[in-house]
């Protein structure tokens, strides 16, 4: 007899949900880390994301 | 078709997420998180909380990856020993090939993420730690020499050094001191375990000191290493990361630890058998508290310094 829900299906489903949550958390961490890195390097050119010399404060 | 035909060879059922998590040695990971965090927080420089969180998380994942590689390589030993027979591979919950894939994948990911979050030195130290534990200790030292856990203990000693490198981008005498504290603590900790594991290691063919040199010699080794550890641990209180809290904790904890080592030295196998290795077991349990309180005290002194209540010796 063919059962619609074998134990293997429920186990795989819970594992896949777990992996999905882990991947979503990973994406959030990468996003958060990127936001922190980008906002902590000072004034930047917007087109190539390097420090903009014109905005750098000159040493007196 | 039988149900077992559905699963990978060597496993009795479809592995769940928890089975894979168990491959990462969660209890070792918690110790790694704590000591790495201590290394990060006692450092003179600070990092953004998000950078610190990400770096420590992936240091823990890197440690877990090396645990999975260790379980893949040592599955034959784990099967024989009572302490490890319930691990996912010998228990038939996860196929060995999955442990290898998970270990390699997470090793690469963790090193890259620590490099991106913190700096290349911290990433290089993590990569070396994984290599040291999985290759130097597991594949080489463990089955070859009774000095296995003396040298192999270095793998467990790196996390505070990595934490320090995450914050400062360098290695200094203070981070080497934290490394040495765990490095010197490891032999007495594991030899006490080997004493009450009885015949586990000899059955598995692992040349632990108890197997190659006997219990009498192991008890002497525990005592001598504990004395060296105590001298070092108390001396560390006078470095720039030490302070009144650390020094007070170190004096008390090392006095108790030395007393425990002396009690182990005085006993013989018959006395230990008579009370079910009670002294050795309590010494082993106390050694966990010992390490926890030493690093906790370092954090306490770091808090005193940042509050301006302590300026150092």
Q: What is the ipTM of this complex?
A: 0.84
| Domain stops at, among B154, B171, B188 | B171
User: pLDDT at position A40, please?
Assistant: 79
Provide the b/e sequence for B212-244 (b: ≥16 CB within 10 Å): eeebeebbebbbebbbebbebbbebbebebbbe
Q: Which residues of chain A are modeled with pLDDT < 50?
A: none
Q: By the CB < 8 Å criterion, does B48 face chain A? A: yes
- Please indicate, yes or no, whether residues B121 and B234 belong to a single structural domain of this protein: no
Give the whole-angstrom CA distance, residue B181 versus residue B167.
20
User: CB count, 10 Å around CB of B94?
Assistant: 25
| Domain stops at, among B171, B193, B223 | B171
How many A/B residue pairs have CB atoms within 8 Å? 36
Q: Which residues of chain B are modeled with pLDDT < 70?
A: 1-6, 9-10
User: pLDDT at position A9, please?
Assistant: 81
Which residue range is the domain that position B135 belongs to?
1-171
- Please indicate, yes or no, whether residues B64 and B132 belong to a single structural domain of this protein: yes
**CATH classification of the domain holding B5:** 1.10.357.140
Q: By the CB < 8 Å criterion, does B17 face chain A? A: yes
- Please indicate, yes or no, whether residues B192 and B95 belong to a single structural domain of this protein: no
C-alpha angle B21/B22/B28, rounded to 5°? Answer: 100
User: pLDDT at position B200, please?
Assistant: 85
- Please indicate, yes or no, whether residues B256 and B198 belong to a single structural domain of this protein: yes
User: pLDDT at position B72, please?
Assistant: 97
Partner residue facing B51 (CB), from A7, A14, A36 = A36
- Please indicate, yes or no, whether residues B100 and B185 belong to a single structural domain of this protein: no
- Please indicate, yes or no, whether residues B164 and B178 belong to a single structural domain of this protein: no
Predicted confidence (pLDDT) per residue in B39-75, tens digit: 999 999 999 999 999 999 999 999 999 999 999 999 9
Give the whole-angstrom CA distance, residue B47 versus residue B242.
21
Residues of chain A contacting residue B6, judged by C-beta atoms under 8 Å apart: 8
Distances (CA, A) of B174 to B166, B181, B244: 14, 11, 17
Look at chain B and report how many structural domains it folds into. 2
- Please indicate, yes or no, whether residues B95 and B32 belong to a single structural domain of this protein: yes
- Please indicate, yes or no, whether residues B98 and B208 belong to a single structural domain of this protein: no
**Min Cα separation B100/chain A (Å):** 18
- Please indicate, yes or no, whether residues B138 and B215 belong to a single structural domain of this protein: no
Residue in B with minimal Cα distance to A13? B16
Distances (CA, A) of B269 to B45, B81, B264, B276: 50, 21, 10, 10
Partner residue facing A15 (CB), from B6, B16, B48 = B16
| Domain stops at, among B171, B187, B214 | B171
Predicted confidence (pLDDT) per residue in A23-33, tens digit: 999 999 999 99
- Please indicate, yes or no, whether residues B204 and B270 belong to a single structural domain of this protein: yes
- Please indicate, yes or no, whether residues B99 and B205 belong to a single structural domain of this protein: no
Classify A51 as helix, strand or coil: strand
**Min Cα separation B17/chain A (Å):** 5
User: pLDDT at position A13, please?
Assistant: 87
- Please indicate, yes or no, whether residues B267 and B156 belong to a single structural domain of this protein: no
- Chosen from A5, A6, A10, A11 to mutate, greatest number of chain B CBs within 10 A: A11
């Amino acid at each position: 007899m063919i059962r619609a829900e074998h134990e293997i299906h429920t186990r795989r489903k819970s594992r896949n949900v777990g992996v999905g949550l882990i991947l979503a958390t990973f994406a959030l961490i990468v996003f958060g880390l990127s936001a922190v890195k980008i906002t902590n390097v000072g004034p930047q050119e917007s087109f190539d994301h390097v420090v903009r010399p014109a905005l750098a404060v000159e040493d007196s | 078709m039988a149900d077992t035909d559905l699963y990978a060879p060597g496993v009795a059922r479809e592995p769940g997420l928890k089975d894979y998590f168990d491959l990462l040695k969660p209890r070792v990971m918690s110790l790694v998180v704590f000591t790495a965090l201590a290394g990060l927080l006692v450092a003179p420089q600070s990092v953004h909380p998000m950078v610190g969180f990400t770096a420590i998380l992936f240091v823990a994942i890197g440690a877990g990856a090396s645990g999975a590689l260790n379980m893949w390589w040592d599955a034959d030993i784990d099967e024989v020993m009572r302490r490890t027979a319930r691990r996912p591979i010998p228990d038939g919950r996860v196929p060995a090939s999955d442990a290898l894939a998970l270990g390699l994948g997470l090793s690469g990911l963790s090193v890259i993420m620590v490099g991106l979050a913190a700096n290349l030195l911290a990433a290089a130290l993590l990569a070396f730690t994984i290599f040291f534990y999985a290759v130097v200790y597991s594949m080489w030292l463990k089955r070859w020499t009774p000095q296995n856990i003396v040298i192999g203990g270095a793998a467990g000693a790196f996390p505070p050094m990595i934490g320090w490198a995450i914050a400062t981008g360098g290695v200094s005498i203070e981070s080497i001191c934290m490394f040495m504290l765990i490095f010197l603590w490891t032999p007495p900790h594991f030899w006490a375990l080997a004493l009450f594991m009885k015949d586990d290691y000899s059955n598995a063919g692992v040349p632990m000191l108890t197997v190659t040199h006997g219990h009498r010699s192991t008890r002497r080794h525990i005592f001598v290493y504990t004395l060296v550890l105590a001298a070092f641990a108390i001396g560390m209180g006078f470095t720039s990361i030490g302070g009144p809290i650390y020094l007070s904790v170190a004096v008390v904890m090392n006095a108790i630890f030395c007393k425990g080592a002396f009690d182990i030295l005085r006993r013989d196998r018959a006395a230990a058998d008579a009370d079910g290795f009670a002294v050795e077991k309590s010494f082993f349990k106390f050694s966990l508290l010992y390490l926890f309180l030493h690093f906790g005290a370092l954090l306490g002194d770091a808090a005193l310094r940042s509050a301006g209540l302590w300026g150092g010796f």
